[in-house]
Amino acid sequence: MTDTDPGTGLDTARDSVASALEQGRVESHLNPPPSYDLADHPVPTGREEVWRFTPLKRLRGILDGEASDKQLRREATLPEGVTLTEITAEQAREIGELAPNDRPSALAVANAGGAVLLDVPADLELDSTEPVVVTLTGEDAEDLVWGHVVVRLGRFSKATIVLRHTGSARYAATTTVVVGDGAELNMVSLQDWADDAVHLGRDAIRVGRDASVKHTSVSFGGDVVRMHANVQYDGPGGEAELLGLYFADAGQHLEHRLFADHNQPRTKSNVVYKGALQGQGARTVWIGNVLIRKVAEGIETYEENRNLVLTDGCQADSVPNLEIETGEIEGAGHASATARFDDEQLFYLRARGISDAEARRLVLHGFFQDLIRKVGIPSLEEQLTATVEAELAKNVLDELAPAGAS
């Protein structure tokens, strides 16, 4: 039997924490440590902080992890030099994908039977007005589909990529984006599902030294959509702009989670998400989190979420977070607001002879338009503007239209 000092255990724990702080390995309380082991991602009960906003019963068994050989139909528009190939899960790890940090992404890796690699070679600069478009289409709302996607941009390359989801399915997927040093990426993830689809997705982005990434997540369709965008940096000088736009109708649940992990010095992140809600039971959730590690001196970060509630019976949750381990930063902040139409704006427009319906349409367009213009893809910007108009017409404008109006 060995004598022990009662204080030894406490000292050891204190030393471990100090060592973790020194090495920048402290984990965020809102983002579990990454792991490929499913045992590290147990089935949630709904009481966990990272799951308490999600309607688990409406996920229709996705989190049980049932095996399935169903796939989404894939169509792609590929410029010369860009390839789309199938690789193994082991090859995806070798490329440098980020390990799963939640149960849906871990299940996707375990059950997808390999990954799809979209590869942009080094030094290739693509025309931003002609994006690489990959469309994934589900055939049946009861189909369970596991997705595993890797996007790789070589050093000093430049590309615009659109990943579009349509049709119906129960879909859980993990997408890793590896952006090489000095590369520039503009990527849009568009959730344009049918009303009965369920989508649990994670977009994990590695930003190389002096590289820049703009990632836009757009959610209109689906019954339940839960998207999680993660960013971390492979070297100083990396920049990430995370944008989001969503519009929830009656009964829809649209949830977006953000995690910017500033694990390198002199990096930047800027987050702007905007959403609108209309109809009974429409629900949106936005959870933003920025972790500034001890080693991340000289970083800049800001996160913002705005929600516009158009009718009664809606609920919008918005929770920005900052976790800061060093004060040696250039700037960090966040903002969140949820409100109805601005009465002063509506009065101003109506006082100039504009109808109530048209005034509300103009206010909503103004709310979204500055964000839509940042997408940087003219054809998609036009589509998003038209979709916002169509969404508004479903409820608000119909209610306000005079009798007999078409």
Q: How many CB atoms sit inside 10 A of residue 9's CB?
A: 10
How large is the average pLDDT for residues 201-218?
Answer: 98
Q: Give the residue from 391, 360, 188, 206 showing the smallest Cα distance to 282.
A: 391
Q: Is the pLDDT score of 9 beyond 80?
A: no
Q: Tell me, what's the pLDDT at 3?
A: 42
For a pLDDT cut of 70, what percent of the chain falls above it? 89
Tokens of 257: 């989670």
**Predicted confidence (pLDDT) per residue in 144-157, tens digit:** 999 999 999 999 99
Cα 92 to Cα 185: distance, rounded to the nearest angstrom: 19
Cα 221 to Cα 227: distance, rounded to the nearest angstrom: 13
SS3 breakdown of the chain: % helix, strand, coil, rounded to 5? 20, 40, 35
CA atoms within 13 A on the CB side of 323: 18
Cα 301 to Cα 264: distance, rounded to the nearest angstrom: 13
384 confidence band (pLDDT: 50, 70, 90): very high
Average per-residue pLDDT for the chain: 89
How large is the average pLDDT for residues 180-188?
Answer: 98
